[in-house]
Structure 1
Amino acid sequence: MKILISRFIAILLLVIPGLAATYGFLEVKNALFNFFSGFGNDEITPDFEWGRFILGSVLFMAGVGFIGGWIFFRDRKRNYLQPRFRKKRPRPGS
């Protein structure tokens, strides 16, 4: 039972940033779409939704950065990376 709970928590640690990145992407997309679609309507002056755009950008970058960092450090631990990304080992005698 203990391993089941720990695996569930591990899945949640990846799903929550993934959902945040998805929501952030959708907010950026909606802000851009609303701005550019406003040019077709002569009755309104299109204005850019900076709050929605910045919030979406932050959520997207944080989610993608967390998942990318998790994959990078997991691959480093399992020695799947190229030599330039591996941990530097101190040379003996220096």
Structure 2
Amino acid sequence: MRQDTQVIARFFAILLLVIPGLLATFGFLTMKNVIFDYIADCGNDGLAAPSFGWLPFLGGFIMFAIGVAFIGGWVFYRDRKRNYVASRFRKKKGLRPASFKPMIDQQNNARNGSSSEPPASP
């Protein structure tokens, strides 16, 4: 039973990468076809002023950008997790924030008029 769930999980993981790849491919081919059609129409003497298909070109560009960004982000996240990236892209291992308890105690003492410090000697 466990082996079946692993196979299904890996299949969905592959689909998560294949679908954006197909989206990027379709977007690239759409942009290529729009540019080719415009250049082919420029050579057609029957057309007075060939028009460029901006809407399909921008749609193809958006699909291409989304697909490439998803795959690039996935590769970057995986490499960052395995520490394969340059030092400037590694997660910063800074100091953990200090506890807020001393600050809260000081605020409560200030409100109550008491202090945790020993009284000053005369």
RMSD over equivalenced CA pairs, Å: 1.3
Query: Structure 2 CA distance, aligned partners of 1:52 and 1:74?
Result: 33
Residue in structure 2 matched with residue 85 of structure 1 by the alignment: 89
Task: Work out which of the residue numbers 9, 26, 29 in structure 2 matches 1:26.
Answer: 29
Q: Which amino acid aligns with 2:87?
A: P
- Equivalent residue for 2:66, pick from 54, 58, 62: 62
Q: Percentage identity across aligned positions?
A: 53
Give the TM-score normalised by the residue count of structure 1: 0.95
Q: Which runs of 5+ in 2 are unaligned?
A: 99-122
Structure whose CA Rg is larger: 2
Deviation at 1:92, TM superposition (A): 5.8
**Greater RCO (CA < 8 Å, at least 6 residues apart):** 1
Structure 1 stretches (4+) deviating beyond 2 angstroms?
91-94
What 5-or-longer segments of structure 1 have no aligned partner? Answer: none
- May I ask how many residue pairs the two structures share in their alignment? 94
